[in-house]
Amino acid sequence: MSELKFDSKGSTRSAGGPLVTGRGLRKTYDSGRVEVLAGVDLDVAAGEIVALWGASGSGKSTLLHLLGGLDVPDAGELTVCGMDPRNEAHRILLRRAHLGFVFQLHNLIPDLTVEENLSVPALANGTSRAATRARILELTESVGIGHRLGHRIQDISGGERQRAAICRALMNSPQLLLADEPTGSLDETTAETVFGLLRDLARQRGVTVVLATHERRFAEQCDRMLRVRQGRIEGSGSGATA
C-alpha cells in the first residue's frame, strides 16, 4: 500500500497513487431486482480527464454518484481522495471540499442570482465573503459570464447556466470534478463550447475530471475513455481505442 499523506483540506491521498480507487463496485435497485453496477473496478489518477462513455441506463451516472458519495455501493471497496464515501462524515467533507459536481441540468437554484448560486458551496464550507467574491469573479471571468453575476438564473441562457454550474462546481477548488452529461441539455455548438471550457479549466487548474457522457465525440477528447455497458466497464483506452 502506498504512503498516505494529509493534504491541506484534511484528506489523505496516496502519494503518486490514484485519486479514485474502486474495486468490485456493485449497486442494485428495487430490492436487488435491478442490477445497475455489476462489479466495477476503476482507478483514476490525479490530473486525469476520464470519460465514462456509454448509452443511457448503462450505469455511468450511478457510478458517478458512487464516486461523489451521492449514493453508496451495495458491495465493493471505494476510496476517493483518500476517503471512504460510504462514511457520512467523509461524504460531507468530500462534497464540501474535495469534489465538484456538474449535472446535465444545471441544478442552479432559481430566483438566486448567479453570484448567490456560486456562493452556496462557499457558504457550506464557511469561506469568507471576500475570498468567495474573489473566487466568483475569477471563475466567472474565465468562462465569460462575469457580466451576469447579478442576474437571476431564469434570466440567463442555457449555455450561461451550464457555465455557471461549472463555476459552482469549481468554487471550493475541488481535486475531483464529476460531470454527469454536462452537455446533454445543450445545442451542439453550445455543447462544444461548454465541454471545451470544462476540459480547459480542468487542465489549467490540475483538476481531475470524471465525465459521464453518451457522446463519443466528447469522450474521445478526454485523456482516457472507459466504456460502460450493462453495469460493467468493458474497455478502456484513449479516443477510439476503447
Partner 1 sequence: MPSPVGWPQTGFMRHLALVFVNLRRHKLRALIGVAGISFGVAAMLTILSIVNGAIGMFERILAVDSHCLVFERNVSDLFFSSVTDEQVSKLRKMDLVSEAQPLLFGLVSTPGHPIVTCFGVEADNPRLTKAKWVAGRPEDFGLIAGGIWLGGRAAEFLGVKLGQKVEIGRGEFTVAGILSTENGFEDGGVFLPLPEAQKFFHREGIASIVAIKLRDQARAAEFLKIVAADLPGLLALENREFNQSYTQFQILHFTAWAVGICAFLLGGLGVANTMLLSVFSRIREIAVLRVCGFSPGQVSALIFGEAAAIATAGLVVGFLLGGAALFVLGHAPQFQGYVQAVIKPSMVGGIIATSLVTALAGAIYPARFASRIQPAEALRYE
Residue 110 φ then ψ, to 5° = -60, 155
Those residues with Cβ within 8 angstroms of residue 211's Cβ, 6 or more apart along the chain or in another chain: 49, 50, 51, 52, 179, 182, 198, 218, 219, 222
Q: With binding defined as CB under 8 A, does residue 172 bind partner 1?
A: yes
Task: Select from 38, 46, 120, 137 the one that contacts partner 1 (CB under 8 A).
Answer: 120
DSSP string computed for 186-227: S-HHHHHHHHHHHHHHHHHHT-EEEEEES-HHHHTTSSEEEE
Amino acid identity, position 97: A
Cβ–Cβ under 8 Å, residues 124 and 96: yes
Q: With binding defined as CB under 8 A, does residue 30 bind partner 1?
A: no
Q: With binding defined as CB under 8 A, does residue 129 bind partner 1?
A: yes
For residue 46, give the nearest of 209, 224, 236, 208 by alpha carbon.
Answer: 208
Question: By C-beta, is 129 or 203 nearer to partner 1?
Answer: 129
Cβ–Cβ under 8 Å, residues 227 and 51: no
Stretch that binds partner 1, among 18-26, 114-122, 137-145, 229-237 (CB under 8 A): 114-122
The interface with partner 1 within residues 47-76 (CB under 8 A) comprises: 61-62, 65, 68, 70-71
User: How far apart are CB 181 and partner 1 at their closest, in Å?
Assistant: 12
Residue 194 φ then ψ, to 5° = -65, -40
DSSP letter at 157 equals: -
Residue 201 neighbours by CB distance under 10 Å:
20
Question: By C-beta, is 100 or 193 nearer to partner 1?
Answer: 100
Q: With binding defined as CB under 8 A, does residue 151 bind partner 1?
A: yes
Q: With binding defined as CB under 8 A, does residue 119 bind partner 1?
A: yes
Give the x-and-dash track for 73-112 against partner 1 (CB under 8 A). -------------------x--xxx---x-x---xxxxxx
Question: By C-beta, is 153 or 225 nearer to partner 1?
Answer: 153
Question: By C-beta, is 60 or 95 nearer to partner 1?
Answer: 95
Residue 105 neighbours by CB distance under 10 Å:
14
Task: Select from 18, 121, 159, 182 the one that contacts partner 1 (CB under 8 A).
Answer: 121
User: How far apart are CB 226 and partner 1 at their closest, in Å?
Assistant: 20
Q: Which three cell numbers stand for residue 47?
A: 490530473
Q: With binding defined as CB under 8 A, does residue 123 bind partner 1?
A: yes
CA distance 168 to 106: 10
DSSP letter at 241 equals: G
Question: By C-beta, is 4 or 123 nearer to partner 1?
Answer: 123
Contacting positions for partner 1 (CB under 8 A) = 61-62, 65, 68, 70-71, 92, 95-97, 101, 103, 107-113, 115-116, 119-121, 123-126, 129, 149-152, 155, 168, 172
